[in-house]
Structure 1
């Protein structure tokens, strides 16, 4: 069972991914329709998509996979907030940067992600 914090965290990651993809200004109905065009299984309602955005529910694994492909992110990050890293190839500077990033409050993390995405 998902905790309320799990749902809230997923919602924040989904909102960040939508913002990075330039889709954050679309309506819930538009987002649900765009999702359904990509999802091979049963479509979702506007209400279901709204529940994902507001932290009331977390989609099933197949829906997270579709979201991740659509939003150009990993399913693991979208679901759990973690990225699979090959630690053998991560430099000391990258690990230091990660430690600084983890120390930031969530709103500053999101702002930094958006800033870095726009710079790339």
Structure 2
């Protein structure tokens, strides 16, 4: 029996959710997801069973819960829900990244950076340059 379109969609969502969790350094666990989600969502809480269904591709959260997940994981709700289209571009059309494939978190961070005023962007660049120099100083020589 062929999977239904909803089942295929739910599986794809589950894969994107697991990827976003891993990229954020969060354990892919129904209990962890339910507990962390409930700390951030002001509506009716979810159970670990609900989180398990999301992670296994049995169900997809409603829009309000999807937004809370996306905010927590620092990703776009549209990309978390719909992913990339078959052409490899974002479901919500945006210009292609000049840096190649970036994680959802990196794309969201860059959008937020670009929305900052010029003086704040300079501060961010200075901090990154200082962190990069610090890491380079600690890197073992080859």
Residues in 2 aligned to 1:2 and 1:59: alpha-carbon distance in whole angstroms: 16
1:70 matched to which residue of 2?
72
Q: Which residue of 2 aligns with 1:12?
A: 15
TM-score by length of 2: 0.59
Q: What are structure 1's unaligned runs of at least 5 residues?
A: 99-111
Partner residue in 1 for 2:24: 21
2:75 is paired with a residue whose SS is coil
Alignment check: 8 A CA contact 2:22 2:28 kept: no
1:86–1:4 CA distance, 2 compared to 1 (3 A): closer
The answer to which structure has the higher helix fraction is 1
Question: Would the alpha carbon gap of residues 41 and 7 (structure 1) be closer, same or farther in structure 2, given more than 3 Å must change?
Answer: same
Distance 2:17 2:35 in 1: 16
Instruction: Tell me the TM-score normalised to structure 1 length.
Output: 0.68
Alignment deviations for residues 11-47 of structure 1 (CA, whole Å, 9 cap, x no partner): 0000000000000x35321220110010111101110
User: Unmatched 5+ residue regions in structure 2?
Assistant: 85-89, 108-142
Task: Between the two structures, name the one with larger relative contact order (CA 8 Å, sep ≥ 6).
Answer: 1
1:46 matched to 2:51? The reply is no
| CA RMSD, Structure 1 to Structure 2 (Å) | 2.8
